[in-house]
Amino acid sequence: MKQLLTFMLMVSAWTPIAAEDLSEHDANNVIGWAAVGGKTTGSQDQNPVTVTNFTELKKALNTSGKRTIYISGEITMEQRLYVEDGNLTIYGLPGSKLVNPKNTKAEYNKSGVLYFQDAKNVIFRNVVFSCGGAFDIGGYDCLCLENCSNFWIDHCEFYDGMDGNIDIVEGSDLITFTWCKFGYKLPPLSAPNVEAKDHRFSNLIGNNDSMTSDNGHLRVTFSNCWWSEGCVERMPRVRFGQVHVANCLYSSEDTKYCFGVGYMCKIYAEGNAFVAEAAKTNLWKFPNDKAKEAHHFKLVNSIGVSDMELAAGSETHFDPSTAYSDVIVYSPTLVEETVSKYGGATLTKEQLTSRGKSTTAIEQVGTSDEVRNIEYFTIDGKRIASPKKGSGVMIRKTTMSDGKVVTEKLFFDK
């Protein structure tokens, strides 16, 4: 085969990786608190496996070491799964979903989707979580992180968590949500023996006013996220943590409060768009009397509401610019159009494994047409034979007749 172009057209198993059709405001990489220290790398796309049912998912999650999981299709959860080992990347292929519809008192202990405990270094991209409804019958969340660190959750969606959509608790730290969507599609439950018929409370950060060990942890970034239809409270509700909310969209007309200003919280919100009248009217709340003793909440440069600052006790002002500089905040007037278009599980298969603003070619030197040699490498640099379908992300090095080299990052589908 003498022409590189001919070679590229004849290969059917791979798809070039590109960052096309992402928002110009999408860094397409880990940013914010999760990027601090450089330890949020996930599996580095090693050891890929595609799962299509609950049994396969459970096995893949509980395999030790670096592993990459591709979710294909809709998987019905038999119960929520506990995960303790990190160094993990989970990709949701387009159209995939993790669903747990259980919503009765008899099955409350089998509700929820994923519970991570003591896990470090995890990446989620394009994963959709769906539960049985926010009825607070002792049920569980779509996702819970307990004493976890270095999580990047990107372009994911969370709906109808029974206790809430997400809990970040008990010392969890260095977590970033980018381009995620939160919502409730199911109506409140009208049934007897329900502790709270309407518990559509989305994001809880810190679960106990007495857990003073959380102070200095619970550092979380929300960038370009969307609290959409059905959200009532906790967008987010914060104890202790240093939480940055930037360029996020608030569109729920069911809002009773957006920000829960909890005990010893440090919240900095900027460049956000409050477009629902209920969100504008019910911007914040002290969830309990304890919260009034010590807190700090600052909101600036947003649309729909005025700048404001609340402070009490010994808590110092939290300024995210002193922690990181990679969250680039743009005009809030662009947030509604941008986040409503690009927020949620909108990534294509080709975009899942891309990072940054790179295109297909990582390095290209020379213009020769003739191919002399082709080599393949794993993402961590190990040379291999020609990859098979389902191998995941690989590097292809093409040497031209004049000695010039083209290096490309490719995705080998199942």
CA dist 180 and 200 (Å) reads 17
- What average pLDDT does range 318-340 have in this prediction? 97
Q: Which pLDDT value is given to residue 195? A: 60
Q: Which residue has the higher pLDDT, 222 or 16?
A: 222
Model confidence at 122, in pLDDT bands (50, 70, 90)? very high
Contact 149, 174 (CB under 8 A): yes
* pLDDT over 90 (residue 135): no
Token pair for 9: 């057209």
At 170, the amino acid letter reads E
Model confidence at 175, in pLDDT bands (50, 70, 90)? very high
- What average pLDDT does range 352-376 have in this prediction? 63
- What average pLDDT does range 401-414 have in this prediction? 65
Model confidence at 409, in pLDDT bands (50, 70, 90)? low
Model confidence at 380, in pLDDT bands (50, 70, 90)? low
Q: Which pLDDT value is given to residue 404? A: 73
How high does pLDDT run on average in the chain?
Answer: 88
Q: Which pLDDT value is given to residue 16? A: 44
Contact 230, 255 (CB under 8 A): no
Q: Which residue has the higher pLDDT, 386 or 279?
A: 279
* pLDDT over 70 (residue 388): no
* Every domain range in the chain assigned CATH 2.160.20.10: 23-342
Model confidence at 363, in pLDDT bands (50, 70, 90)? very low
Q: Which pLDDT value is given to residue 236? A: 98
Dihedrals φ, ψ of 264, to 5°?
Answer: 60, 25
* pLDDT over 50 (residue 212): yes
CA dist 53 and 377 (Å) reads 30
Model confidence at 375, in pLDDT bands (50, 70, 90)? confident
Token pair for 135: 């009825």
Q: How far is CA 261 from CA 170, 239, 363, in A?
A: 18, 7, 48
Q: What is the 3-state secondary structure (H, E, C) of the chain?
A: CCCHHHHHHHCCCEEECCCCCCCCCCCCCCCHHHHCCCCCCCCCCCCEEEECCHHHHHHHHCCCCCEEEEECCEEECCCCEEECCCCEEEEECCCCEEECCCCCHHHHHHCCCEEEECCEEEEEECCEEECCCCCCCCCCCCEEEECCEEEEEECCEEECCCCCCEEEECCCEEEEEECCEEECCCCCCCCCCCCCCCCCECEEECCCCCCHHHCCCCCEEEECCEECCCCCECCCEECCCEEEEECCEECCCCCCCCEEECCCEEEEEECCEECCHHHHHCCEECCCHHHHCCEEEEEECCECCCCEEEEECCCCCCCHHHCCCCCCCCCHHHHHHHHHHHCCCCCCCCCCCCCCCCCCEEEECCCCCCEEEEEEEECCCCEECCCCCCCEEEEEEEEECCCCEEEEEEEECC
pTM attached to this predicted model = 0.84
- 140: helix, strand or coil: coil
Greatest pairwise CA separation for the chain in angstroms: 78
pLDDT digits (tens, 9 = 90+) for 54-81: 999 999 999 999 999 999 999 999 999 9
Q: Which pLDDT value is given to residue 2? A: 37
Q: Which residue has the higher pLDDT, 393 or 3?
A: 393
CA dist 368 and 96 (Å) reads 41
* pLDDT over 70 (residue 18): no
DSSP string for residues in 83-135: E---SEEEEE-TT-EEE----SGGGGGG--SEEEES-EEEEEES-EEE-S---
pLDDT digits (tens, 9 = 90+) for 149-173: 999 999 999 999 998 999 999 999 9
Overall fold of domain 23-342: Pectate Lyase C-like (2.160.20)
* pLDDT over 60 (residue 20): no
CA dist 203 and 364 (Å) reads 45
Q: Which pLDDT value is given to residue 106? A: 83
What's the distance, Cα to Cα, between the start and end of the chain in Å? 25
- What average pLDDT does range 397-403 have in this prediction? 74
Q: Which pLDDT value is given to residue 205? A: 98
Q: Which pLDDT value is given to residue 137? A: 66
Dihedrals φ, ψ of 4, to 5°?
Answer: -60, -40
Q: Which pLDDT value is given to residue 193? A: 59
* pLDDT over 50 (residue 365): no
pLDDT digits (tens, 9 = 90+) for 263-318: 999 999 999 999 999 999 999 999 999 999 999 999 999 999 999 999 999 767 89
- How many residues can be counted in the chain? 414
Identify which of 328, 329, 272, 348 has the alpha carbon closest to the alpha carbon of residue 305. Answer: 272
